[in-house]
Amino acid sequence: MKKYNVAVVGATGAVGEEIIRVLERRNFPVKELRLLASTRSIGKKLLFNNQPIAVQELKDEAFDGIDYAIFSAGAKRTREFASAAIRAGAIVIDNSSAFRLDPEVPLVIPEINPGDLKNHKGIIANPNCTAAILGTVLWPLHCEAKITRIIVSTYQSASGAGAQAMEELKQQVGQFVRNEAVTKSVFPHQIAFNVFSHNTKIEDNGYNEEENKVVKEIRKMFHEPHLPITATCVRVPVLRAHSESVVIETEKKLTPERARQILSHAPGVLVVDDRDKNHFPMPLAATGELDVLVGRIREDLSNPHGLALFISGDQLLKGAAWNAVQIVECLIHK
């Protein structure tokens, strides 16, 4: 089996470390794994297949000989270094928002639009975590009944803001239970025992950046540029895995039974829908899972062509690391 040289940019971050674990989990044919990060992480060692690998400095020359470079270091770093990786002959899979809406850059979820990979020009964008989790579940329903409207409210975990945000939640919980003053630095509001509107800028249309990303990215991946979508994105005091309450309207009536049947055979989806035991998707159950969990599948009582669902998916996996590795797997098996 052919093996490949893979670089992980942002290797010491929450997503970067998950990429390393997913490569192990998938027994990916790695010849050399090159871990890249900022200067403050140089020399730090991370385990891959029980072997310590030292982190190297992220610079243009670091991509020499690399086949695939998976970026997870933010849009600024992608814009700064992606061109160097491409010049070195690597294909870039980027987890940031830098190129997601660029019409020249494919935005891909392998369960939805793998055909778009053939149009890449050296860089492929990984979708926003919320859009990835949502799209994976809705795509098979769209193929069956054509979705004409999506209403989604999200319950987004601290992991979406990175490792420091997860630590802040833990720290605040400890401060709260010890009756100490709760301190904050990552989030604008207390995250422990609280919920608040997603911590991104409110844009001119009244929606925050996260909500607008969901709308635009689902439209791009579904190849439905005018699909009506409205989103409300909220942070909740959950360490890991995002959840989403979704209502869809469809052109063709879709019964809960038929939707459950479709989703039970859909790639990347796991139906968790036990009404008798009141057991449905939860972030705790979704944590560590490559599949997206879906349940609470029921008719929308306000619309004869509506269906309601509840979704939980691991933001660090299907929402980031796993989807990126899946893209590479698609490229090597094309």
Per-residue pLDDT averaged across 313-323, rounded? Answer: 96
In three state form, how does the secondary structure of 238-296 look? CCCCEEEEEEEEECCCCCHHHHHHHHHCCCCEEECCECCCCECCCHHHHCCCCCEEEEE
pLDDT > 80? residue 133:
yes
pLDDT > 90? residue 43:
no
Residue 248's identity, in one-letter code, is: I
CA 67 to the chain's CA centroid: 23
pLDDT > 90? residue 141:
yes
Residue 323's identity, in one-letter code, is: N
For residue 334, the model assigns a pLDDT of 76
Residue 37's beta-bridge partner residues?
Answer: 57
Closest C-alpha among 51, 69, 52 to residue 60: 69
pLDDT > 80? residue 46:
yes
**Rounded to whole angstroms, how far apart are CA atoms 129 and 124?**
15
Closest C-alpha among 289, 139, 130, 115 to residue 198: 130
For residue 39, the model assigns a pLDDT of 87
**Rounded to whole angstroms, how far apart are CA atoms 319 and 268?**
12
Residue 94's beta-bridge partner residues?
Answer: 71, 125
Token digits for 298? Answer: 């029921």
Banded pLDDT at 258 (limits 50, 70, 90): very high
Q: What is the DSSP string of 72-102?
A: -S-HHHHHHHHHHHHHTTPEEEE-SSSSTT-
Catalytic, out of 120, 142, 198, 242: 242
**Rounded to whole angstroms, how far apart are CA atoms 176 and 159?**
20
233 catalytic residue (yes or no): no
129 catalytic residue (yes or no): yes
Taking only the tens place, the pLDDT of each residue in 209-256 is 999 999 999 999 999 999 999 999 999 999 999 999 999 999 999 999
Q: Which stretch of 63-67, 104-108, 157-161, 293-297 has the lowest confidence by average pLDDT? A: 157-161
Token digits for 162? Answer: 């990175």
Among all chains, which residue has been given the structure tokens 């940031």? 96
Let me know: does 6 contact 26? Beta carbons within 8 Å: no
For residue 163, the model assigns a pLDDT of 86
pLDDT, the chain, mean: 96
Catalytic, out of 129, 142, 198, 233: 129
**What percent of the chain is predicted at pLDDT more than 90?**
96
Taking only the tens place, the pLDDT of each residue in 51-77 is 999 999 999 999 999 999 999 999 999
